[in-house]
Amino acid sequence: MLNVAVVTPLHNRREITLQCLRSLARTDTSGFRLDVIVVDDGSTDGTSAAIAEEFPEVRLIPGDGSLWFSEGTNVGVRDAIARGADYVLMMNDDQVFDAAFLRYLVETAERNSRSIVGPLLLLWDAPHKLFQTSPRWETLSGGWRHWQKQTVWSVPQRPWEVEQIVGNCVLVPAEAIKEHGMLDSKRYPNFGDMEYTPRLRKRGWRLIIDPRSRVFCQPNYVPQRVVSMSPREKFNALFIDLKHIHNLRRRFYGYVDSAPTRLHGAAAFLIFFARLALGRNTESPAYGEKNFEPPIAETFADKVI
C-alpha cells in the first residue's frame, strides 16, 4: 500500500489549523495510508497542545519561530521521506478539502509517470471561483499571469498540464524530492513554492492539475501598501527582508528562477515595473476585472491529458 504524508508548517493560527485538520480527518484514504505531519514553528497560542489533544495521531514537530514557510515545509518533508513516504502533500493550513481530493491526486500521479499533481484551488467564501490555479508565464505581461475570472465551469474537465503549481496544496512524489531537493529556504524563506514546481518541470517532471480534486482556500490577505509605510519600513520591506511580500530581491529571484529562461525572467522583472507605472499591473484585481480573460479550458486546450 502507498504511503502518503501530508506536511504543513504553521504559526499561531490555532482555530484555522484545527479546522483544516478536522477537514483532513474526513479524507477518503482508499488505496493508501495517510500520515499527517505538522511543523509548529514556535506558536504561542496553544496550537500544539490543541492538536495533541484533538488529533493524537498527528505527528508534531516543534520549531523555534525561525523556520517560516519554506524551511518549515522542508523540516516536515525530511521527516516524511525518512519515514518512508511514497508521496508528500505539501500544503498550507488555511484550507478545507473535498473528501475525495487526495484520492484523485494520488490516482492521477500513479497514472502519469514522473508527475507532480495539484487540485483545483477554490475560494472558501466563493466556492465556485478559482484561486491561484494554473498560472501561465507571460513575459510581456510582467511574469506569471494569475487568472482572476475563472470558475469551476471554465476549466478543462480532464487533467491538464500546467507551467506552475502554487504551494497551497501540491502532491510531490518522494522520487522527485530525492532527485532535486526541497524548497530553497535561503532565497525564499517565505515563498519557496514560487520556484519549486517550475524547477521540477525544467528537470523533466510533468505538472498536472486534476479538476476532480477540490480544495477550498482562505482568500489572500491584502498586504500593507508600500506608500503607507515609514521610510525605515519601506527600506526594510523592499531591500532587506526576503520574507516580505514586497521585497524586490525576492521578486527578482522568483522571476529569474521560475521563468522559462533567466533572460525571460530578467525581462519580465523590468516589464512588471513598467506596467506598474502605467497602471497596467496584471496582478491587480482591478486590472483583471476590466480586461478580457479567456477560459482556462481554451487557453490550455492543447495541454489536456
The residue extents of the domains of the chain are: 2-222+290-303, 226-289
Give residue 227's pLDDT: 85
Question: DSSP states of 264-283 as a string?
Answer: HHHHHHHHHHHHHHTT--TT
Classified as helix, coil or strand, 234 is: helix
Joined grid coordinates for residue 218: 482562505
pLDDT digits (tens, 9 = 90+) for 275-295: 988 888 888 777 777 778 999
CB 262 within 8 A of CB 256: yes
pLDDT digits (tens, 9 = 90+) for 117-144: 999 999 999 999 999 999 999 999 999 9
pLDDT higher than 80, residue 256: yes
pLDDT higher than 80, residue 203: yes
pLDDT digits (tens, 9 = 90+) for 9-67: 999 999 999 999 999 999 999 999 999 999 999 999 999 999 999 999 999 999 999 99
Give residue 133's pLDDT: 96
Closest CA to 299 of 131, 108, 154, 112: 154
Instruction: Find the mean pLDDT for residues 79-106.
Output: 97
Instruction: Find the mean pLDDT for residues 73-91.
Output: 98
CB 172 within 8 A of CB 180: no
Question: Phi and psi at residue 279, in whole multiples of 5°?
Answer: 75, 25
Band of pLDDT at residue 224, cut at 50, 70 and 90: confident
Give residue 287's pLDDT: 73
CB 127 within 8 A of CB 96: no
* Averaged confidence pLDDT in the chain: 95
Band of pLDDT at residue 177, cut at 50, 70 and 90: very high
Joined grid coordinates for residue 111: 497514472
pTM over 0.75: yes
Q: Percentage of the chain surpassing pLDDT 90?
A: 90
Query: How far is 163 from 150, CA to CA, in rounded Å?
Result: 17
Q: Where are the alpha helices (DSSP H) in 11-61?
A: 14-24, 47-54
Considering only 144-158, 217-231, 259-273, which range has the smallest mean pLDDT? 217-231
Q: Where are the alpha helices (DSSP H) in 55-208?
A: 68-82, 101-111, 174-180, 193-202
Instruction: Find the mean pLDDT for residues 67-84.
Output: 97
Give residue 222's pLDDT: 78
Domain 2-222+290-303, CATH class in plain words: alpha beta
Give residue 120's pLDDT: 98
How far is C-alpha 191 from the geometric centre of its chain's CA atoms? Answer: 9
